[in-house]
Amino acid sequence: MEAAADTLRLYPDPLCGKLRETVAGLHGVTSDRVFFGNGSDEILALCTRAFVEDDGSIGFFDPSYSLYRTLAQIRNAKIQAIALDADCAWPAPDPETADLFLLTNPNAPSGRLYPEAQVEDFCRRARGVVVIDEAYVDFAAAHCMDLAQRLPNVLVMRSLSKSYSLAGLRAGYAVGNPDLIAALFKIKDSYNVNRLTQAAALAALRDQAHMLDNVRRIKATRQKLAAELTAMGFQVHPSEANFLWVKPARPAAQRLYELLKDRKILVRYFPGTGTGEHLRITIGNEEQTERLLAALRAPELDNSTPMS
Amino acid sequence: MEAAADTLRLYPDPLCGKLRETVAGLHGVTSDRVFFGNGSDEILALCTRAFVEDDGSIGFFDPSYSLYRTLAQIRNAKIQAIALDADCAWPAPDPETADLFLLTNPNAPSGRLYPEAQVEDFCRRARGVVVIDEAYVDFAAAHCMDLAQRLPNVLVMRSLSKSYSLAGLRAGYAVGNPDLIAALFKIKDSYNVNRLTQAAALAALRDQAHMLDNVRRIKATRQKLAAELTAMGFQVHPSEANFLWVKPARPAAQRLYELLKDRKILVRYFPGTGTGEHLRITIGNEEQTERLLAALRAPELDNSTPMS
């Protein structure tokens, strides 16, 4: 509120100095290891230009964040999409391949968390830069922020869109090797993060208790919803994120997606082998969760008896 | 203020729908001719990627906006810098040369406005896309927005950083051929303009009276300051922008810049042939203008007697 004032006539701090100091303090690093972006999406786009040559390659798991493929196409890079199985288990990828590897951990849409040891081993053997996209990590039991300090080719990225509930603000950051951070600074737009976002992000990052409360509430709802859906016959994958990846017994995922949409309840459906049998259900508030469960208990949507 | 609320948890409108409708209404075009960016700097950067091939070229006048050269270097494009004379007069550039030509009008740092007829003739003969960067045009007697409607290879760009005094917000837009606009949409970050900027920019654009008052005040101060500086022996170029481009008699420009800086008065000095003999003085408020004039009247800075 204070920032929505006469000072808006002034250009923003191009270096996001206070924000980067605050992030550095949170993670116990120096601020030359921190980059702040106009959402972590901007950081991903910058990485595809800073770390990938014109005939280079970009790798990622499939499924993971669908933007990765789009960014690789915009960059006109070779795409190395490593297929995950239905459980989205760690696929032991060949680390020699990509100039830039984008690794969502916890994975989306499955919510699966890959152990730090596996991620570290992969990063150590990787030829290029690895971005560990921890957009959902505040909802998880562990994180890989240590690798941003230990390994020279790793950036760990965080977002304020999920655990801080500030998707409208566009605020994300990356932590890692100062040389990688400097490369991002070199090509970014001068004033990529506006004054209002800098002020609001600073306030949000300084109020860790608020974020942790938010996370606690969402994790409690996640646990409750997982139990209810399991009881209804859904196969519910263990989730370390703010959504559940579930496989309905019947009706089939796409049909159930449409029936819920008719009732103004929006869940995510990703067509395709493996993903097409699942739905991704974002954890809402108590009221939204009750509405979802009530809808699923209606006879037409009843999931309790598997189809013969 | 209303937008700094619970709705910040929601992603921004990726298409800036309301903003683009408002801009379209202001300029009498359809909204498929409008692109909104995270500052016009972002639009310039997108243009260097959307309209320039990997072995392509980017042209601009020298001097003009210093970011153009930086963006061309980041894009690794051939640079075609067309030297302006000391008066920054229209140099009749060869239009066949660049994939993308970035044309500041009114020019910075001189404040010189090029007539629409000359600009139109150049654009009609240009091989590539011409961006007419009208960042300062609200302070000028004329503009080229009509060309955005008439010519297929032209984008006319505006900023909210100058006449709307909202540099901290990061808000700028481009108007032109729907195919060019679509190309920018194709490669932009999904959520390039955050919710707060969208809300504040909308409010600002809907209050044209406030902007016009601002402009009227700055133009009145510009006229007064130009008269005072001329009386003091400065050569003052006619300005259609919110700054004056002046050549001091004595002390020399660089020395005067430093003497003013010692007195906490910041003006712009651009080293180099032609520019190095001038200062760019941004029009401030009444108090700032009085402080500048008082400083210039001090014996040490006295500009009234040319050096023998």
Mean pLDDT along residues B195-212: 97
Q: What is the pLDDT of residue B303?
A: 61
d(CA B226, CA B234): 9
Instruction: Clarify whether residues A83 and A165 are in a common domain.
Output: yes
- Whether the per-residue pLDDT at A229 is higher than 90: the answer is yes
d(CA B158, CA B139): 12
HEC per residue, A18-64 = HHHHHHHHHHCCCHHHEEEECCHHHHHHHHHHHCCCCCCEEEEEECC
Instruction: Clarify whether residues B123 and B229 are in a common domain.
Output: no
pLDDT tier for residue A274 given thresholds of 50, 70 and 90 = confident
A54 reaches B (C-beta below 8 A): yes
d(CA B168, CA B74): 24
**Side-chain half-sphere CA neighbours of A182 within 13 A:** 5
Ranking A197-201, B73-77, B273-277 by mean pLDDT, the lowest is B273-277
In a domain, B252, yes or no: yes
Mean pLDDT along residues A147-158: 98
A2 reaches B (C-beta below 8 A): no
Helix, strand, coil content of chain B in percent (nearest 5): 40, 15, 40
0.85 surpassed by complex ipTM: yes
Token readout for A200 is 């609001």
Distances (CA, A) of A85 to A120, A237, B208: 21, 13, 57
In a domain, A240, yes or no: yes
Strands (E) across chain B are located at 34-37, 57-62, 78-83, 100-104, 129-133, 154-159, 172-176, 235-236, 243-247, 279-282
A40 within 8 A of A86, measured Cβ to Cβ: no
In a domain, B260, yes or no: yes
Q: Is the Cβ pair A190, B41 closer than 8 Å?
A: yes
- Whether the per-residue pLDDT at B307 is higher than 50: the answer is no
Q: Is the Cβ pair A190, B11 closer than 8 Å?
A: no
CATH code assigned at B129: 3.40.640.10
Instruction: Clarify whether residues A221 and A195 are in a common domain.
Output: no
Share of chain B above pLDDT 70, in %: 97
Contacts of A74 in chain B (CB under 8 A): 186-187
Mean pLDDT along residues B4-10: 91
Q: What is the pLDDT of residue A94?
A: 75
Q: Of A158, A176, A206, which marks where a domain is finished? A: A206
Domain with B152 in it:
2-206
A173 within 8 A of A158, measured Cβ to Cβ: yes
Instruction: Clarify whether residues A175 and A229 are in a common domain.
Output: no
Instruction: Clarify whether residues B202 and B276 are in a common domain.
Output: no
Q: What is the pLDDT of residue A104?
A: 97
Instruction: Clarify whether residues B197 and B217 are in a common domain.
Output: no
Q: What is the pLDDT of residue A307?
A: 47
B2 reaches A (C-beta below 8 A): no
In a domain, A307, yes or no: no
B16 reaches A (C-beta below 8 A): no
More confident residue, A202 or B4: A202
Share of chain A above pLDDT 70, in %: 97
Token readout for B212 is 């016009």
Per-chain mean pLDDT for chain B: 94
Contacts of A8 in chain B (CB under 8 A): 165-169, 200
- Whether the per-residue pLDDT at A308 is higher than 50: the answer is no
Query: What's the whole-model pTM score?
Result: 0.94
In a domain, A306, yes or no: no
Q: What is the pLDDT of residue A303?
A: 61
A9 reaches B (C-beta below 8 A): yes
**Number of A–B residue contacts, CB under 8 Å:** 109
Per-chain mean pLDDT for chain A: 94
B106 reaches A (C-beta below 8 A): no
d(CA A9, CA B159): 12
Phi, psi of B185 (to 5 degrees): -60, -35
Nearest-neighbour CA in chain B from A154: distance (Å): 23
pLDDT tier for residue B304 given thresholds of 50, 70 and 90 = low
Instruction: Clarify whether residues A226 and A148 are in a common domain.
Output: no
Instruction: Clarify whether residues A198 and A124 are in a common domain.
Output: yes
Residue B82 pairs in a beta bridge with: B61
Q: How many domains does chain A have?
A: 2
Instruction: Clarify whether residues B103 and B234 are in a common domain.
Output: no
Q: Of B164, B185, B206, which marks where a domain is finished? A: B206
A149 reaches B (C-beta below 8 A): no
Instruction: Clarify whether residues A202 and A214 are in a common domain.
Output: no
Mean pLDDT along residues A291-298: 93
In a domain, A305, yes or no: no
Mean pLDDT along residues A274-287: 93
In a domain, A304, yes or no: no
Contacts of B186 in chain A (CB under 8 A): 74
- Whether the per-residue pLDDT at A10 is higher than 90: the answer is yes
d(CA B5, CA A30): 32
Instruction: Clarify whether residues A142 and A130 are in a common domain.
Output: yes
d(CA A126, CA A129): 7
pLDDT tens track for A89-112: 998 877 667 999 999 999 999 999
In a domain, B173, yes or no: yes
A125 within 8 A of A95, measured Cβ to Cβ: yes
Mean pLDDT along residues A48-68: 95
Q: What is the pLDDT of residue B72?
A: 97
d(CA A140, CA A186): 33
Instruction: Clarify whether residues A53 and A161 are in a common domain.
Output: yes
B219 within 8 A of B227, measured Cβ to Cβ: no
Q: Of B184, B206, B228, which marks where a domain is finished? A: B206
**Chain B nearest-CA residue for A70:** B187
B200 reaches A (C-beta below 8 A): yes
- Whether the per-residue pLDDT at A33 is higher than 70: the answer is yes
CATH code assigned at B239: 3.90.1150.10
